[in-house]
């Protein structure tokens, strides 16, 4: 009998979901895993290779790394092209900004060091910092952050920096897509609407956006939002992830640190016996 005995928790993450599920199931929870998004790496993309070659040939003054998974995927692609060492050398010659702790961890894991990172993962905070610093005419490479949808109240960082006067190179490392087979998401929505889960967990804003889109496409959006405003808790890894729900006035909960382990502990503390 663990603190989560009798609780059913939905997991929408694609990556590290097994690890997350194990942490919760050891505390007695039943988990329902339905990935809300799929990450498509662009490792064979000609544009990515062309941009990589350009960076090696002419390192930018500033590089903005948006995501840990994207940066690692970029290095993996470069390794496949036998240019990883050259890419790392070029990035090491540039000033690097990390858009949050996950990106920062990936940068340091590659033996590089960032010059600045925001307290959150908000693209707007990066843009504000660089605007204050002054980036008119600065050569900036920006690793793109997946795909923006109608549900994500965020900014295209590359476009924002270009408007501030920077000479921007966009690095398209990967993109998010909604699952081709929507039936598992529809089944998950039914469980949420029927209050068969106690909480839904999210580890990325695109996952939230995907589930919102599936609900809207199936005429279930109002019922879905009502469930999340009522008996089904929406638990997010951090404020960037919760932003689409915040914009819809859905109450969300989150740990102080945007980490998977912290999220698991938070779920246990929030939903466990005696919480």
pLDDT of 163-192, one tens digit each? 999 999 999 887 778 898 999 999 999 999
Arithmetic mean of pLDDT over the chain: 91
Query: Nearest 5°: CA angle at 209, between 171 and 144?
Result: 5
145 against 232, higher pLDDT: 232
In this predicted model, what pLDDT tens digit does every residue of 94-143 receive, in sequence order?
999 999 888 999 999 999 999 999 987 788 899 999 999 999 999 999 99
Domain residue ranges in the chain: 8-37+180-271, 40-176
Alpha helices, DSSP H, located in 17-67? 17-25, 46-57
The C-alpha atoms of residue 231 and residue 78 are separated, in whole angstroms, by 47
- Residue 223, pLDDT score: 98
The C-alpha atoms of residue 67 and residue 44 are separated, in whole angstroms, by 19
The C-alpha atoms of residue 8 and residue 25 are separated, in whole angstroms, by 10
> CA-based diameter of the chain, in Å?
61
100 against 201, higher pLDDT: 201
pLDDT over 70 (residue 263): yes
Q: Give the DSSP per-residue string, 251-264.
A: -EE--SS-SHHHHH
pLDDT over 70 (residue 156): yes
34, HSE (Cβ side, Cα atoms, 13 Å)? 25
The C-alpha atoms of residue 238 and residue 96 are separated, in whole angstroms, by 23
Structure tokens at 67: 């995501």
Extended strands (E) in 164-205:
167-171, 174-177, 199-202
- Residue 148, pLDDT score: 47
Mean pLDDT score, 80-89:
96
Place of tokens 């980036």: 135
Length of the chain: 275
155, HSE (Cβ side, Cα atoms, 13 Å)? 16
CATH architecture under which domain 40-176 falls: 3-Layer(aba) Sandwich (3.40)
Out of 3.40.630.30, 3.10.20.30, 3.40.50.10090, 1.20.1110.10, the CATH code matching 8-37+180-271 is: 3.40.50.10090
């Amino acid at each position: 009998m663990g603190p989560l005995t009798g609780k059913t928790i939905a997991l929408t993450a694609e990556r590290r979901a097994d690890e997350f599920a194990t942490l919760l199931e050891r505390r007695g929870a039943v988990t329902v895993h339905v990935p809300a998004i799929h990450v498509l790496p662009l490792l064979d993309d000609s544009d990515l290779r062309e941009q990589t070659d350009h960076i090696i040939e002419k390192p930018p003054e500033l590089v903005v790394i948006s995501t840990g998974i994207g940066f690692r995927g970029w290095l993996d692609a470069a390794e496949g092209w036998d240019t990883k060492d050259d890419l790392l050398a070029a990035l090491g010659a540039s000033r690097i900004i990390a858009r949050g702790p996950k990106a920062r961890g990936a940068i340091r894991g590659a033996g590089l060091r960032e010059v600045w990172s925001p307290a959150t993962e908000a693209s707007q905070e990066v843009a504000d910092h660089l605007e204050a610093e002054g980036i008119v005419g600065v050569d900036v490479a920006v690793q793109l952050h997946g795909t923006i949808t109608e549900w994500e109240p965020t900014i295209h960082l590359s476009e924002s920096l270009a408007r501030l006067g920077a000479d921007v190179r966009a690095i398209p490392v990967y993109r998010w897509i909604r699952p081709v087979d929507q039936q598992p998401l529809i089944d998950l929505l039914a469980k949420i609407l029927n209050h068969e889960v106690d909480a839904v967990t999210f580890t990325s804003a695109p996952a939230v956006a995907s589930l919102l889109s599936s609900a809207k496409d199936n005429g279930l959006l109002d019922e879905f939002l009502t469930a999340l405003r009522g008996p089904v808790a929406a638990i997010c890894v951090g404020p960037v992830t919760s932003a689409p729900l915040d914009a819809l006035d859905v109450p969300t909960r989150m740990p102080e640190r945007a980490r998977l382990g912290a999220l698991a502990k938070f779920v246990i503390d929030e939903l466990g016996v005696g919480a």
